[in-house]
Amino acid sequence: MNIEFSNIEQLLRRLNNTQKLQIENLNWIEPIGIVLLKLYKTAHPITDISLQGNSNCVGYVNTLLNQNASRERSYVPLEHFSNNFGNKDEIANNVTKKIIKSADNLSDEYKLDLSKYLQYLISEMMDNVISHSMSKIGGFVTAQYYPAKKKVQVVIVDSGVGFLETLSKKYPLESEEDAIIKAMEKEVSGSNAFAPYTNVLKHAGLGLYFLSKIIEYTSGKLLIVSNNTIYRSYQNSFQLLETDFQGTMIAFEIFEDKLDYEFGQLFNIIRSEEEEEEEDIF
């Protein structure tokens, strides 16, 4: 069994409120699966997670689930963050640095630009979780760079209430699908005010809207889970699951050979689109 970005529903379906979660024949697992298991173990401490399969894979995952291995050199970064904004940028910086350090094949110029993309997006997604999830245990963030595939995978997950409960207090929504769509609108995801872009990244407060635009421009992949509903940007599809998972997952993949825009340039392009839309309205 492989647990990957493309089939994470297989793991989500296995999450239930019983006292044992058993996964057999595990051969390969991406960060999206590791961080989901870590969140589930933290949210359900009495649940026994039993993994069987490839010994290297199982041993690797068990180490991450049972120890604070996030800062060990040989492990993917697996950072826990609480429901406050105090350490958000520091954690985003830690994760970004570890990913960039592993990208030995990239030029220094490209590493710098990729780090701007990653730190901004990770910080924005953590902000979304902290602001809206109401997760009692906070959340987790992880990422990994795949040199052969020339891609970075980033995942942020929490055990909060999901988009529907949060947004239905303000908007007439009937389903998680409605709520995910609404969450990606710019006036819902955050402020419309753009901070001037300099060499230092600025928090613009655009949340999922800005992430979705970056994914669109860079031909990346965005996956959003809110409780029992999955949205996949690259298929423009929603999927309803039978699962006891409660919370939100935001995962994306960006590909280095698709980053045709320097981060500041893309930031300004999206800013220009915003200004043109506002002019059309008025």
Q: What pLDDT, on a 0 to 100 scale, did the predictor assign at position 106? A: 84
**The residue to which tokens 């872009």 are assigned:** 197
Ranking 46-55, 71-80, 233-242 by mean pLDDT, the lowest is: 71-80
Q: Give the span between the Cα atoms of 153 and 138, in whole angstroms.
A: 21
Of the two residues 158 and 277, the one the predictor is more confident about is: 158
User: Which domains does the chain show, CATH number per domain?
Assistant: 77-281 (3.30.565.10)
pLDDT at 280 over 60: no
Q: Give the span between the Cα atoms of 275 and 14, in whole angstroms.
A: 45
**How does pLDDT run across 236-260, given as a tens digit for each residue?**
999 999 999 999 999 999 998 888 8
Whether 258 and 29 have beta carbons less than 8 Å apart is answered as no
* 3-state class (DSSP) for residue 81: strand
Quote the percentage of the chain above a pLDDT of 90. Answer: 43
Q: What pLDDT, on a 0 to 100 scale, did the predictor assign at position 68? A: 54
Of the two residues 261 and 187, the one the predictor is more confident about is: 261
**How does pLDDT run across 130-186, given as a tens digit for each residue?**
777 788 888 899 999 998 998 999 999 999 999 999 899 889 999 999 999 998 887
3-state secondary structure 20-48: EEEEEEECEECHHHHHHHHHHHHHCCCCE
